[in-house]
Amino acid sequence: MSASVIAPLPLAGGVGGRGSDLATNHLVPTPLTPLASGRGTVEPNGALANFIWFRAGGPAEWLVRPADVDDLAHFLAALDPAIPLLPVGVGSNLIVRDGGVPGVVIRLPKSFAKIAIETGYSVRAGAAAMGITVATRARDAGIAGLEFLRGIPGTVGGAARMNAGAYGREVADILVEAVLVLRDGSVETWPAERLAYSYRHSAVPEGAVVVEALFKGAPGDPAAIGAEMDRIAAEREASQPLRSRTGGSTFKNPPGDKAWRLIDAAGCRGLMVGAAQVSEKHANFLINTGGATSAEIETLGEEVRQRVKEHSGVGLEWEIQRVGVEA
Q: Which residues are catalytic?
A: 200, 249, 319
Alpha carbon distance 1, 275 (integer Å): 17
Residues 6+ apart with CB under 8 A from 196: 202, 203
Residue 210, classed as helix, strand or coil, is strand
283 neighbors 241 (Cβ within 8 angstroms): no
Residues 6+ apart with CB under 8 A from 142: 219, 220, 221, 222, 225
Alpha carbon distance 90, 95 (integer Å): 12
53 neighbors 130 (Cβ within 8 angstroms): no
Residue 246, classed as helix, strand or coil, is strand
Residues 6+ apart with CB under 8 A from 300: 271, 272, 273, 276, 277, 278, 286
DSSP string, 175-200: EEEEEEE-TTS-EEEEEHHHH--BTT
